[in-house]
Structure 1
Amino acid sequence: MDHYPTIEKVVNDARARIEVTKAEIDEARKRRVAIVAALAREFVGSRHCFNGSVAHGDALTPLTDVDLGVVIPNPDGTYGPGRGDRANCKSEYPPPFDASSRPSTATCASSSAAASG
C-alpha cells in the first residue's frame, strides 16, 4: 500500500520552495529603516508606521516591495494639494464629480518618479 504525504507536509514543502530567506527580510527591513531615516531628516518631526507584507513577515518580494506610512507635520499648511512642497509637487483637488463628464485624472509626476526610482 502506498503512503501519501499529509496535507501539512505538502503545504510545508510548497511554502519552503517559495518563501524568502530571513536574510532577505532582514535586508528589506534595513532598507526600510534607511528610508524612514532619510524622511525624518528631510521632514523633522515626522512620524512613521510600518505596514504591508515586510512588516508582517510574509513578503514574497521583500527587496522590491516595502510599504510604510509617514505623517509630516504641517503647522503652516506648507504641504498638500495646491501648495508648493519640497519636491515642488503640486496636485490640485479634483473638481466635484459630475456624472456627465469624465473625472479628473490629475497626478503628481514628481511622486510617481520618486516612487519608481
Structure 2
Amino acid sequence: MSEAYLFFFARLEAFFLGKEGREPTATSFPLSTRTDECCQALRNALTAVVIDLQKDDDPQVIRETLNARSEPLLPADLLRNYIFFRASREKLVAEVISQKYWSGFD
C-alpha cells in the first residue's frame, strides 16, 4: 500500500509541481484545467474494491486469486470466487465442486 501511495504521489507531484528541475506536465494549460483533468481521470479510471475478510480467511490467497491473471475480473470470476469461498468455509473440496459443477462454464 505504501509503495502505491509513493508511486502516485510522485506522479501527481510531477504533474502539478514539476520535479527535479522540470516544469509541471502540460504547463500550457492553467492549473484549474490540469486539476479538472486529474479529477476526471480518477473518476473514470479508478475503481476501489473493499473485501471484508473473516477471522480465518487467508488474505494472501485472496490477493493471489484476484491478481492471478493481471486482468480485470469479470462478473463470472467474482461469482466463481464467491462460490468456492463459501465451499471452502463449509469444508467442501474445491476440486470436486469445480469438476462437478463449474467445469462446464469454463
TM bin (shorter chain):
under 0.3
Normalized per residue, the structure richer in helix is 2
Normalized per residue, the structure richer in strand is 1
TM (normalized to structure 2)?
0.26
Q: Which structure ranks higher in relative contact order (CA pairs < 8 Å, sequence separation ≥ 6)?
A: 1
TM (normalized to structure 1)?
0.24
